[in-house]
Structure 1
Amino acid sequence: MNERWTDEHVPDQSGRVAVVTGATSGLGYETARVLAQRGATVVLAVRDVEKGKQAAARMTGDVSVQALDLTSLASVRSAAADLRAAHPRLDLLINNAGVMYTPRQTTADGFELQLGTNHLGHFALTGLLLDRLLPTPGSRVVTVASTAHRLRAAIHFDDLQWERSYSRVGAYGQSKLANLMFTYALQRRLAPHGTTVAVAAHPGVSRTELLRSAPVAMRLLVDRIAGPFLQDAATGALPTLRAATDPHVEGGQYYGPDGRRQISGHPTFVASSPESHDEAVQERLWTVSEELTGVTFPRA
């Protein structure tokens, strides 16, 4: 297969139903736009419904909007109930939404904001929708991670919510490491079913609104260092699209740009950190995540 994979390689998606979180702009928007253009029925699962409607109006195809606030487990449960009622089957769940380098804040349920949004909200949503995915051959759960999973690469079980001290960078790195560990642990649980796979992707360094919560000095520093290498959102979305649609993708794989240090380039199979593959930590995180969210996944 041609490794210079582009959105032109996305096969026909007619008949498939895709839920994309955080799809009002950036990577999520571009991912949803291409899926809809290729014929999928796409649901934009977003916090701001009005922005979601505006995004949907700019897309071609069958696109609807679902209210979803990942910082509230009540909202996650409500959204999952709505999606289950509207869609007897799901083919794609793309866990794309995220926050980055935010000041210390907590979600409605008391979780540190970055962990609560990036990992726990998606963990709960996936568990609540899994029985719509499992009966669907070829279905996938795609979770968007980041090269930042290597930053302070640890799950801080002794202070998971960063209550004793707080680091924007460390908390973000923890949440992105959690995304990968979730993907690998989920794939082990899905494998016996043979119908659904879990895959991860990362966009490299792309020009999106993700850094909007970071301090001005940090945004300027990133722009100065990475500016020449920044991809547009459409290019940054390609690893997610490949993870979601390439028929050669296998469960437990991780996709990112093929360029130097995975900063930019065309999407390809990439390696994550050794820490992300620690099964003991993955299973401990899984148990803690079920306890915190109250969502228990179906057993194989």
Structure 2
Amino acid sequence: MPLFSGRCYSLARLDGITAVITGCNTGIGKETALDFYKRGARVLMACRDLTKANSAKEDIVKSSGNIDGCGDLVVVKLDLLSLSSVRECAKYILNTEPKINLLINNAGVMMCPKGKTEDGFEIQLGTNHLAHFLLTLLLFPRIANSKPARIVNVSSTAHERGYIDFNDIHFEQRNYSPFQAYAQSKLANVLFTKELAKKIQENNIDGVNVYSLHPGVISTELGRHFATSHPIIQLILKPFRWFMKTPEMGAQTTIYCAVDEKCAEENGLYYKDCVAVEAAKEALNLETAEKFWNLSEKLVGFVNWNPSTADNKM
């Protein structure tokens, strides 16, 4: 049990609220979906494996204990390794959901072997950032029309070790490092949050807030590649698993950013244990954030996006 773990104590209900959560068939995403469901939200579970997602849906219903006031759970297909799948998912959501109040960009991969997405992106950057970047831009007009609304990007303290190599963002020239690729993708999450908040403010859009966060060191399936590629380190760290957070504890900061009243007017900040803290210096570099945003637009084929005039380009 960690010596300190923040907890969201808000009792806010989410009746009438629609939430989209990526990668919520396991881990902190599943715990987030459970929490929202118990608060009365309509939860869209956007997952790659529909069999696992439907099993998770059944588990969530059972875990709720059939308490009064639960919401709805809807499983939606989303493969973050494919921008085509991201566009299809966004199209489906926009055709079926009149509002989107919460977007939780939760899904991710961690320190996996070198690989590429369907679109040729380094797999961790493509999954953890670029796919969520495109999904957010596509859904943003509906989000902006569903105010108050919040967008929550799950990052990691690993962003502190990251840097954006604009000359070799997909590790095509430099030696591939699973950790450095992961750190770059998590830095991307924070930079994305900063720049999106800036664009929202510059376009005088009220009622839409965006957050990034570190959920903590959690014992989940996310570290399965790390266990395979670093068995010796895993053996050394095994005694410390007792100090890792459970998925339920790890979901608390995500839930806090999504529902808590105290951060309702905060925008573009980075959180840890349900408290806003200062992100790494590189994550606060506004020039880097803007440059990386422009590159991300180019990579996903959504150039010159403007939040005040954005349409749903597919």
Shared fold per TM-score greater than 0.5: yes
CA separation in 2, counterparts of 1:11 and 1:142? 17
CA separation in 2, counterparts of 1:101 and 1:166? 11
CA separation in 1, counterparts of 2:195 and 2:257? 17
**Shift of the alpha carbon at 1:224?**
3.2
Matched AA of 2:172: E
The aligned counterpart of 2:220 is: 208
- Are 1:134 and 1:196, in contact at CA under 8 Å, matched by a contact in 2? yes
Q: Does 1:270 align with 2:286?
A: no
SS at match of 2:81: coil
Q: Deviations over 1:68-115 (max 9, x none)?
A: 001100000000000001112100000000000011000000000000
**Shift of the alpha carbon at 1:220?**
0.9
1:222-261 alignment runs, 5 A limit: 223-224=237-238, 226-249=240-263, 250-257=266-273
SS at match of 2:167: helix
Structure 1 gaps, min length 5: 258-266
1:15-30 alignment runs, 5 A limit: 15-30=16-31
Matched AA of 1:236: G
Q: Does 1:196 align with 2:196?
A: no
**Shift of the alpha carbon at 1:4?**
8.1
- Are 1:205 and 1:226, in contact at CA under 8 Å, matched by a contact in 2? no
Matched AA of 2:269: Q
CA separation in 1, counterparts of 2:127 and 2:54? 22
CA separation in 2, counterparts of 1:218 and 1:116? 28
**Shift of the alpha carbon at 1:190?**
1.4
**Shift of the alpha carbon at 1:222?**
6.9
The aligned counterpart of 1:186 is: 196
Matched AA of 1:172: Y
- Are 2:8 and 2:253, in contact at CA under 8 Å, matched by a contact in 1? no
Q: How well do the aligned residues superpose, as a CA RMSD in angstroms?
A: 1.7
1:25-40 alignment runs, 5 A limit: 25-40=26-41
The aligned counterpart of 1:121 is: 131
Structure 2 gaps, min length 5: 62-70, 309-314
The aligned counterpart of 2:45 is: 44
CA separation in 2, counterparts of 1:283 and 1:126? 17
Q: Does 1:156 align with 2:165?
A: yes
- Are 2:20 and 2:46, in contact at CA under 8 Å, matched by a contact in 1? yes
Q: Deviations over 1:169-205 (max 9, x none)?
A: 1000000000000000000111221121111121110
Q: Deviations over 1:212-246 (max 9, x none)?
A: 11214266157337423201000000000001111
In structure 2, the CA distance between the partners of 1:218 and 1:53, relative to structure 1 (3 Å rule), is: farther
- Are 1:135 and 1:195, in contact at CA under 8 Å, matched by a contact in 2? no
CA separation in 1, counterparts of 2:7 and 2:190? 24
SS at match of 1:58: helix
The aligned counterpart of 2:116 is: 106
The aligned counterpart of 1:264 is: none
- Are 1:91 and 1:136, in contact at CA under 8 Å, matched by a contact in 2? yes
SS at match of 1:242: helix
In structure 2, the CA distance between the partners of 1:51 and 1:268, relative to structure 1 (3 Å rule), is: same
- Please point out which of 255, 279, 282 is paired with 2:289: 282
- Are 1:7 and 1:34, in contact at CA under 8 Å, matched by a contact in 2? no
SS at match of 2:130: helix
Matched AA of 1:163: E
- Please point out which of 278, 284, 295 is paired with 2:302: 295
CA separation in 2, counterparts of 1:280 and 1:199? 19
Query: Normalising by the residue count of structure 1, what TM-score does the alignment of the two structures yield?
Result: 0.92
Aligned residue pairs total 288
In structure 2, the CA distance between the partners of 1:271 and 1:111, relative to structure 1 (3 Å rule), is: same
SS at match of 2:211: strand
Q: Deviations over 1:132-179 (max 9, x none)?
A: 10012220110000000012x210111100011210010000000000
CA separation in 2, counterparts of 1:50 and 1:184? 35
